[in-house]
Amino acid sequence: MQSLDELVKLLSRLPGIGGKSASRIAYHLISGDEAYNRHLGQAIETIKDKVHRCSLCGSYTDTDPCIYCSDMNRDRSQLCVVEQPQDVLTIAASGVYNGLFHVLGGAINPMDGIGPDQLSFRSLKERVRDGGIKEVIIATNPTEEGDTTALYIRQILKDDDITISRIAAGLPIGGDLEYADRLTLARSLRGRIRY
């Protein structure tokens, strides 16, 4: 069936959706509510028109500047540097950070041809130089690329009179030593905190 096959093929290109899930979703849409299908379809079609990147921090936003950059109740002396726009929401949702954000647009990855020029290090440097920021918290992923990127940031900001920190990596809360991988365990030991 052409129209069903096409829908299943399109759905299975979404992240985390395999062939079986795509079929299940397609059948749900066929037998489901027409108004819902219309809403979902239009939301998907128009999302790229509605969501932009904040001109200050680079996060996804409906307005410019974004709600974080324009919120005067946030601590404007802290700047959290992340790889992706979605990381901003993840950290904001944690409820333990009330500062500003800076989105790099990725991590340094020579294998994929992503060097410092493709990422927003220049505007990071400018934001720090413009003053007011006392601490830069590097929240790139605890991966080889994220760690390399963190080292690079430490390097380009070393002459600025600010504190630079890196989010901790180690065993997840509720995790079990027995099931921890070697790299996580090593990082957890190296990053031990003295009582």
State which residue, 106 or 116, has the beta carbon closest to its own copies: 106
**What CA–CA distance (Å, rounded) separates 19 from 144?**
32
Stretch that binds its own copies, among 34-42, 116-124, 134-142, 161-169 (CB under 8 A): 34-42
50 binds its own copies per the rule CB under 8 A: yes
Which of 41, 131, 132, 172 binds its own copies (CB under 8 A)? It is 41
Which of 55, 62, 115, 144 binds its own copies (CB under 8 A)? It is 62
Residue 16 CB, nearest approach to its own copies (Å): 5
Residue 88 CA neighbour count, 13 Å, CB half = 22
Angle between helices 144-156 and 121-129 (to 10 degrees): 40
What six digits make up the tokens of 129? Answer: 């130089």
Residue 54 CB, nearest approach to its own copies (Å): 10
Stretch that binds its own copies, among 11-19, 74-82, 138-146, 185-193 (CB under 8 A): 11-19
> What are the C-alpha distances in Å from 176 to residues 167, 169, 179, 190?
21, 15, 5, 18
